[in-house]
Amino acid sequence: MNKSSRVRRSIRLLLASFFAVAVASSLIAHEQKTALTDIFYNERTGNLEIAHRVNVHDAEHALKKATDSRADLTRSAKAREAFSDYAAERFAISIDKTNKLKLKLVGQELERGYLWIYQETKIPSPTNASFYIENSILHDAVKGQLNTVNVRFRKKVSTLEFEADSGAKLYSRGKDQEVLKSE
Amino acid sequence: MIRIFSITFLVFALASSAFTQGIQQTKGSFIDKFRQLDEVLPTPNTYRNAAGQPGHEYWQQQADYVIKVELDEAARRLSASATITYKNNSPDSLEFLWVHLDQNIFRKDSIKELTSDFGGTGRRGPATAAPGGGDPAKLSFGELRRQQGFDDRDYGFEIVAVTLKNGADLDHTIVGTLMRIDPKIPLAPGAELSFSIEWAYNIVEEDAIGARSGYEHFPDDKRKGGNDIFLLAQWFPRMAAYSDYEGWHNKEFLGRGEFTLEFGDYDVSITVPDDHIVSSTGVLQNPDETLTETQRKRLTESESAKRPVFVVTPEEALKNESSTPKGTKTWHFVADNVRDFAWASSRKFMWDAQGYQQKDAEIETVMAMSFWPKEGGELWRKYSTPAIIHTMEVYGRFSFDFPYPVIQSVNGPVGGMEYPMITFNGPRTDLQDDGDRTYSMSEKLFLVGVVIHEVGHNYFPMIVNSDERQWTWMDEGINSFLDAVACYEWDPDMPWTRSLARDLVPYMISENQVPIMTQSDSILQFGPNAYGKPSAALHILRDTILGRDRFDHALKTFSQRWKFKRPTPSDFFRTMEEASGTDLDWFWRGWFYTTDHVDISLDHIYQLRLDTKDPDIDFTRRRQEEADKPAKVGVRLDEENGIKPWVKRHPDLTDFYDENDIFTVTNKERNEYQGLIKKLEDWERKALERAVKEDKNYFVLEFSNVGGLVMPIILKLEFEDERTERLHIPAEIWRRNPKTVRKLIVLDKGDKLTRVEVDPDWETADANINNNAYPRKIIPSRIEVFKDKRSGFSRRDIMKDVKTELKSDDEEEEKDDKKAKKGDDE
C-alpha cells in the first residue's frame, strides 16, 4: 500500500473488498472474541518466535466467511493450513511499517479448543529493539474481536491490543534502542 | 503532551487511592497480602449481614406485569400495553420510579451511539478501521448496513401513554435508556402503585445492528418474501431495580453491562400470525387454542419420555415454512417469580420436548424443550434438549433444584443469551451441495457448551439475582466455572478452554488489564477478565485450596441463601469464608482486587546435616567434606607436568604433622564432648541421641514470589529410587514475607532427593514454569516443542506448503470436504 499522506488526512472512506465478510453472528453472552499472540526472542536459537492462539470455533467461522469453504479445523489439516495462511497474512512486524520482516510460517497445531499458529524469523539481536506490529487476525470475521499481543523481554511483558481500527502499533523498549533487522 | 501527562497522572492517582483505602504502610516496603478485607467490603447491616447472609430485615421490591403484545410480522414491529404493579417493600418512600427502556440504546442519539469510538474498544458492531499508517479509513459493508438500518427506520421505544388505573396521565421523563415516573405523592413503604404503559417499537435486525434480540431474515426460504425468526428480549418497559446497597440501579445501558431486575409475576398474551410457533418464558395457559390435538398429545407423552419427543416434527416445520397465515393467534403465558421475560416466534420452528424428573423437588417435572429451524438440523435434534437436561443435573447438585416448570433453548440469530426459562443459542449446520446438512466438531462442542452456559445462567443470575451491569464476573464467572464442571462431566475430552488455569497465563501476565472487581462497562479484555479468570480462580479454590467437600458446601450455601434474592460480591466472599471455615481474604484480594499473577520460583535448595557434637564423628565428616572438594588446579597441572613436590622428594624428613592432619581428634576434644553431654538435661540428651541415630536429611527450599499473587506452594519431590511425594504448603507461608520464603523439609536417612518441582500439574496458573524445577532444566519454547514433534512426522513439506495459496478452487474444496467427512484426513 503506497498511499499518500493527503489520503490519510482526508479520511476517505474506502470499501476494502475483504471487509465485505465482516458480518458474523454475534455471540453475546458467550463468545470470547479474543486471540492471543506471544512474541519472544529465543536466545538459544536466535529466533524471534511468534505464537498465535485462536479459538478453533472463531477460526472456523472466519475461514468459512473468507473462503466460503466448509472448514472443519479439528479434523482437516488442510483447513488448518488455510487458516494459518489467513492469519499469517494478517500479522506483520516491521521497522517502519513498510519494510515488513519475512516471517516463516513454521506450522500449526491444535491444543484442546485452541489452534496455535507459529511463525519465526532469524534476527541478530532483538533484545533491545523497537518495532511495529500489525495484527488484524479475525477482525474481518468477528465483531468486536480483540487481539492481545504480549511481547516478552526477560521478566518484562509489554502488551499491545489490536482492534479493528488499530493499524500498526509501536513496541518500544525505551531509550537505547537498536533497530530490528532480519538476517 | 500535557493532556497525555495529566491523564496518566489521573490514572495513577486513582489506582493508588483505591489500593490504600485509608491504610498506608509508610515504613519499609512490606505489603500485607493477607490484610483482612475489612476496609474494602461494605459494613454489614440488617439487610445483609457479616456472615454473608440476607440480614434479618432483608427486603426487595416486587414488580408484576400483565402485558398484551402483538407482533406485526410484515412491518417487523411490536405494539403492546402493560399494567405494572410495583410493590415498595423498602423502608424508604419513593418520590419517583425508574423504568428501563433498553431499546433506546438503538436510537441515533443514545449515549452508546454517541460515544461509539470508531472501530474502537469494546465496540459491539461490525468492523471499521480508522486511518493510520498511510492507509485510509475503512468502513465495512457491515457498518454500512448498520448505518443504513439506522437511516431507514427509527428504533427505540415509542411511548404512547403512561397512565394511572383511572386513566389519568402519569408524569414521566425519558432519560436515555431510562424513564422516570413521577407519582403525585411519594410511594410509601409497603404501598403499591399500579400504572399502565402503551408502547411500540421497530424490531432491529439482529445481525445488522448487533443486539441481544431482533429478527433474522431467511430470504432463500421457498415462501414468497421468505421467513423470519423473531427473538424478543428487552422488549417491554422493565422496572429498574431498587436495592438497599445502590438505591435505584439507573445506570445507562451502554451495551455491555447486562441487566438486573426485580422478581415478579408475569401474565403475557402474545398475538402472532396464526402459523407461528411461540416459545416463551412461562407456562402456556391456552394449549387448546394454540396447539393441535396431536401436538398436545405429543407434549403429554414427552413428559415421561427417555428421549426428546417431537411436538412439531422437521417435516411439519418444513411444510409450515411455506404457509400463509389466515389471521392471528394469541398465546397466553404465565410465569411466577421471574426477573425478566423473553420470547421467540417463527413459522420455521420445529420443537422437541422431554420431561426432566426432580424427585422430591418443588417442581418434580421440568419440561426441557428446544425450538430450531431446519438450519439447526441434526445438531439440534441430537444435542440441544439433552444438554439442557444435563445442565440441570449438574447445576442442581451445586445449587438447588430447578425451580421453574419449563426451560428452553431456541435457535436464532443470537449467539448465546439467557433469560428466565428461555435461552437463545446460535450454532447451526452447513448446507452441503448434495442437500445434506453437516456440522464441524467444534460447532458441535460449541452447541453443547453454549446451551449448558446459557441454561446455567438460569441459576446465575436469573435466580441468584446478582447485578450484571455492575459485576459481570458474579454471573459470568460463577457460571463459567460451573459450565466447565458440566462440560467435564459431559465429555472429559471436551476442549472447553477458558476455565483452565494454564490457559489464563497469557492474560494474567499481560499489561493492560484491570482487576476482576471492575464495573462491567469499564473492563479491558472482557472475556478473560469476567469469564476466564474468575472461573479459573474458582476451580483453583475448589480443587487446590479448599478441596471439593468444603468448596461445594460453601457454594451450595451461597446459592441457597441467595436464591431469588440479590447478592453482592461481599455476600459471596463472606459466605464462602463462613461456610468453608477458611480465611480467604488473601485469595479474594489477590485474584479479585489486584492484577497480580502467579509465578513462584524455586530458587535454591540447601542440604543440611545435623552435627553430632561427637568429635570422632563430626571431624571425620569435615575431613571427608574437604576431600570431596575438587583438587587444586595448580597441583593437578604440576602432577601432569611431572613436577614432584619437595616433600615427596625428601621422604626422610617427615614429622608428626605428616601423619596427623588438621581433623585429627585429640582427647582434649573428647573431654569437651563428654563435658557437654553431661551438662545436657535428660530430655536434651535423649533428643540428641535420637537425632544422631536417625541421621535425617534436612533440606531448606528457598522460594521467591515473582508474580506477586500469593498461592499455596505445591511440591513434587523426586527421589533417587524414582519414588515421588507430594507436599502442599498453604499460602499462609507468605504472610510475613510475600517476596521470599524458606521451607525446611526433613527426610529419612535413605531418602535421596534428586529433584523438586513447584506446581507439577500446572493447576495454579503459574506463569513461568522455567523457574519451577530445581535443579533447573532447559524447557524448550512452544515452537521448539512443536518442531520436535513435527520432525517425527516427516510426511509434510512445510517449506513448500507454506507457499500454498488460500483455497479458492471449488473442486479441491469438495475433495477436501469428502475426505474430512470420512474422518481419514489425519
Closest residue of A to B450, CA-based?
Answer: A30
Of A134-148, B73-87, B457-471, the range with the lowest mean pLDDT is A134-148
* CB distance B232 to B343 below 8 Å: yes
Q: Which residues of B touch A165 (CB under 8 A)?
A: 118-120, 128-130, 132, 137
The three-point CA angle B472-B473-B474 to 5° equals: 95
The answer, yes or no, to whether residue B370 has pLDDT greater than 80, is yes
Report the distance separating Cα B615 and Cα B147, nearest Å: 92
Interchain CB contact of A35 with B (< 8 Å):
no
Closest residue of B to A117, CA-based?
Answer: B783
- pLDDT tens for each residue of B596-649: 999 999 999 998 888 888 999 999 999 999 999 998 999 999 999 999 999 999
Interchain CB contact of A99 with B (< 8 Å):
no
C-alpha cell, B261:
431486575
Percent of chain B with pLDDT over 70: 89
Report the distance separating Cα B454 and Cα B479, nearest Å: 9
Interchain CB contact of A123 with B (< 8 Å):
no
The answer, yes or no, to whether residue B133 has pLDDT greater than 50, is no
What mean pLDDT is predicted for residues A15-31? 34
Tell me what ipTM this predicted complex has.
Answer: 0.77
Q: Which residues of A touch B122 (CB under 8 A)?
A: 144
Q: Which of A15, A85, A114 sits opposite B141 (nearest CB)?
A: A15
- pLDDT tens for each residue of B530-586: 999 999 999 999 999 999 999 999 999 999 999 999 999 999 999 999 999 999 999
Predicted local distance difference test score (pLDDT) of residue B474: 97
Interchain CB contact of A168 with B (< 8 Å):
yes
Interchain CB contact of A17 with B (< 8 Å):
no
Interchain CB contact of A57 with B (< 8 Å):
yes
Interchain CB contact of A70 with B (< 8 Å):
yes
How would residue A42 be classed by pLDDT, with cut points 50, 70 and 90? confident
Neighbour-count burial of B799, counting CB atoms closer than 10 A to its CB (0-12 exposed, 13-18 middle, 19+ buried): exposed
Interchain CB contact of A173 with B (< 8 Å):
no
- pLDDT tens for each residue of B311-361: 999 999 999 999 999 999 999 999 999 999 999 999 999 999 999 999 999
Closest residue of B to A103, CA-based?
Answer: B802
The answer, yes or no, to whether residue A20 has pLDDT greater than 90, is no
Alpha-carbon distances, residue A76 vs B31, B64, B329 (angstroms): 52, 53, 48
How would residue B778 be classed by pLDDT, with cut points 50, 70 and 90? confident
Cβ separation A23–B208 shorter than 8 A: yes
Predicted local distance difference test score (pLDDT) of residue B545: 97
What mean pLDDT is predicted for residues B502-511? 93
- pLDDT tens for each residue of B147-169: 776 677 889 999 999 999 899 99
Cβ separation A51–B120 shorter than 8 A: no
Closest residue of B to A4, CA-based?
Answer: B134
Percent of chain B with pLDDT over 90: 74
Cβ separation B134–A1 shorter than 8 A: yes
Report the distance separating Cα B316 and Cα B313, nearest Å: 5
Cβ separation B784–A45 shorter than 8 A: yes
How would residue A31 be classed by pLDDT, with cut points 50, 70 and 90? low
Cβ separation B442–A86 shorter than 8 A: no
Q: Give A82→chain B minimum CA distance, Å.
A: 6
Q: Which residues of B touch A10 (CB under 8 A)?
A: 136
Cβ separation B415–A70 shorter than 8 A: no
Predicted local distance difference test score (pLDDT) of residue A153: 79
Q: Higher-confidence residue: A66 or B705?
A: B705
- pLDDT tens for each residue of A147-169: 999 998 777 889 999 988 888 99
Predicted local distance difference test score (pLDDT) of residue B79: 97
What mean pLDDT is predicted for residues B217-236? 96
What SS3 class is residue B668?
helix
What mean pLDDT is predicted for residues B717-739? 96
Interchain CB contact of A71 with B (< 8 Å):
yes
CA trace torsion B243, B245, B247, B249 (10° rounding): -80
Predicted local distance difference test score (pLDDT) of residue B801: 59
CB–CB contacts below 8 A, A to B: 291
Closest residue of B to A78, CA-based?
Answer: B816
Alpha-carbon distances, residue B414 vs A89, B148, B203, B479, B820 (angstroms): 30, 21, 14, 19, 28
Neighbour-count burial of B524, counting CB atoms closer than 10 A to its CB (0-12 exposed, 13-18 middle, 19+ buried): middle
Predicted local distance difference test score (pLDDT) of residue B808: 61
Mean of the per-residue pLDDT values for chain B?
A: 89
Interface test with A, best of B112, B124, B442, B480 (most A CBs within 10 A): B442
Cβ separation B781–A49 shorter than 8 A: yes
Report the distance separating Cα B308 and Cα B386, nearest Å: 8
Q: Which of residues 138-167 of A touch B (CB under 8 A)?
A: 139-140, 143-146, 148, 150, 152, 155, 157-159, 161, 163-167
Of B137-146, B676-685, B707-716, the range with the lowest mean pLDDT is B137-146
Of A111-115, B61-65, B87-91, B759-763, the range with the lowest mean pLDDT is A111-115
Cβ separation B807–A74 shorter than 8 A: no
> What is the DSSP secondary-structure string of A53-102?
EEEHHHHHHHHHHHH-----TTT-HHHHHHHHHHHHHTEEEESSSSSB--
Q: Give B511→chain A minimum CA distance, Å.
A: 5
Q: Which of residues 15-44 of B touch A (CB under 8 A)?
A: none
Instruction: Tell how strand B128-129 and strand B138-139 pair up.
Output: antiparallel
> B68-105 burial by CB neighbour count: b if 16+ within 10 A, else e?
bbbbbbeebebbbbbbbbbbbebeeebeebbbbbbbbb
Q: Give A153→chain B minimum CA distance, Å.
A: 12
Report the distance separating Cα A20 and Cα B617, nearest Å: 84
- pLDDT tens for each residue of B415-434: 899 999 999 999 999 888 88
Cβ separation B120–A5 shorter than 8 A: no
Cβ separation A8–B136 shorter than 8 A: yes
The answer, yes or no, to whether residue B268 has pLDDT greater than 60, is yes
Instruction: Tell how strand B422-425 and strand B406-411 pair up.
Output: parallel
Interchain CB contact of B442 with A (< 8 Å):
yes
The answer, yes or no, to whether residue B252 has pLDDT greater than 60, is yes
Closest residue of A to B787, CA-based?
Answer: A106
Cβ separation B806–A139 shorter than 8 A: no
Q: Give B776→chain A minimum CA distance, Å.
A: 16
Report the distance separating Cα B537 and Cα B770, nearest Å: 22
Cβ separation A69–B498 shorter than 8 A: no
Interchain CB contact of A47 with B (< 8 Å):
yes
Predicted local distance difference test score (pLDDT) of residue A71: 77
Q: Which of A82, A139, A152 sits opposite B127 (nearest CB)?
A: A139
Q: Give B223→chain A minimum CA distance, Å.
A: 24
Q: Give A84→chain B minimum CA distance, Å.
A: 9
What SS3 class is residue A173?
coil
Predicted local distance difference test score (pLDDT) of residue A126: 58
Report the distance separating Cα B233 and Cα B345, nearest Å: 12
Report the distance separating Cα B599 and Cα A90, nearest Å: 32
* CB distance B338 to B422 below 8 Å: no
Cβ separation B510–A168 shorter than 8 A: no
Report the distance separating Cα B757 and Cα B68, nearest Å: 65
Q: Which residues of B touch A47 (CB under 8 A)?
A: 783
Interchain CB contact of A124 with B (< 8 Å):
no
Q: Give B548→chain A minimum CA distance, Å.
A: 25
What SS3 class is residue B27?
coil
Written as one letter, the residue type at B531 is Y
Q: Higher-confidence residue: B518 or B147?
A: B518
Predicted local distance difference test score (pLDDT) of residue B707: 95
Predicted local distance difference test score (pLDDT) of residue A36: 94
The answer, yes or no, to whether residue B498 has pLDDT greater than 60, is yes
Report the distance separating Cα B201 and Cα A7, nearest Å: 41
Interchain CB contact of B536 with A (< 8 Å):
no
Neighbour-count burial of B379, counting CB atoms closer than 10 A to its CB (0-12 exposed, 13-18 middle, 19+ buried): buried
Written as one letter, the residue type at B83 is T
